[in-house]
Amino acid sequence: MRELALVFTKLGTIAFGGPAAHIAMMDDEVVKRRQWLSQEKLLDLLERNQSYSWP
C-alpha cells in the first residue's frame, strides 16, 4: 500500500499538462514499468471514472 501511495504522490507532484499528461504518466508507471495493470484494465478503469463525472 505504501508503494502505491508513493507512486501516485510522485505522479501528482511532477505531472504538468492536465489530465492527458497524467494518464500518459500513469500508463508508463503502472502498466509498462511496474506491470500492476494491463493496458486494457487501465483503459477500463479510466472509462468507468469518466462515466461517474458529476456537474
Q: pLDDT value at position 55?
A: 65
Cα-Cα-Cα-Cα dihedral sign, residues 44, 18, 15, 4: negative
Say yes or no to pLDDT of 37 above 90: yes
Cα-based distances in Å from 50 to 3, 5, 10, 47, 54: 25, 22, 23, 5, 9
Say yes or no to pLDDT of 40 above 70: yes
Say yes or no to pLDDT of 35 above 90: yes
Q: pLDDT value at position 20?
A: 85
Say yes or no to pLDDT of 8 above 70: yes
pTM as predicted: 0.74
Q: pLDDT value at position 17?
A: 82
**What residue type is 51 in one-letter code?**
S
